[in-house]
């Protein structure tokens, strides 16, 4: 082999220098690309950590809100149950009161008849015994202490009693059942 000529050596040296420069450029580009990739990776890691922390915070807040709403729902259901029980109890009371009201209505409807009957009985008492019937015996008198028409007997009777208004009525004070006035 023959030795290369100086031109070939220069060309080879120039080629080597160009390759060396190109390698240096590529190494710089590679280093810049590695720095960019490293920075991007670090940025992605930071963002990932931030997103993970935000996701955990959101999850905790969601779980707390779910627990709060579940507790509130349970309390609301308990309140609804109590109200439903109260409504049932009050409906039962209303049913009883409606029945009692009906009884009182029936009593009020019957009162004029009772008042009329008592008025007729008082008139009969005032008239006294019929003429020519003879003397009444103690057993047949309407004025004895056991008469159902005496004011004491009426006010203590369980089936019929005078109201406080009736007891205050001046007409009743003047009328003595079982006696003539």
Q: Which residues contact 162 (CB under 8 A, 6 or more apart)?
A: 151, 154, 155, 172
Distance CA 177, CA 170 (A): 14
Q: What's the DSSP call for residue 179?
A: S
Mean pLDDT over the full length of the chain: 81
Local confidence band at 50 (pLDDT 50, 70, 90 cut-offs): very high
Q: Is the pTM of this model over 0.75?
A: no
Q: Is the pLDDT of residue 179 over 90?
A: no
């Amino acid at each position: 082999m023959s030795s290369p000529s100086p031109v070939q050596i220069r060309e080879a040296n120039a080629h080597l220098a160009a390759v060396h420069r190109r390698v240096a450029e590529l190494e710089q580009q590679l280093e810049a690309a590695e720095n960019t990739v490293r920075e991007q990776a670090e940025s992605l890691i930071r963002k990932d950590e931030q997103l993970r922390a935000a996701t955990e915070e959101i999850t905790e807040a969601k779980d707390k809100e779910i627990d709060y709403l579940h507790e509130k729902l349970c309390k609301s259901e308990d309140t609804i149950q109590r109200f439903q029980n109260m409504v049932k109890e009050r409906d039962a009371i209303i049913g009883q009161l409606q029945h009692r009201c009906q009884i009182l209505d029936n009593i009020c409807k019957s009162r004029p008849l009772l008042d009329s009957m008592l008025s007729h009985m008082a008139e009969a008492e005032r008239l006294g015994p019929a003429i020519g019937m003879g003397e009444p015996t103690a057993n047949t008198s309407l004025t004895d202490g056991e008469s159902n028409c005496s004011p004491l007997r009426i006010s203590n009777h369980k089936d019929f009693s005078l109201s406080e208004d009736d007891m205050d009525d001046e007409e009743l004070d003047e009328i003595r059942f079982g006696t003539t006035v």
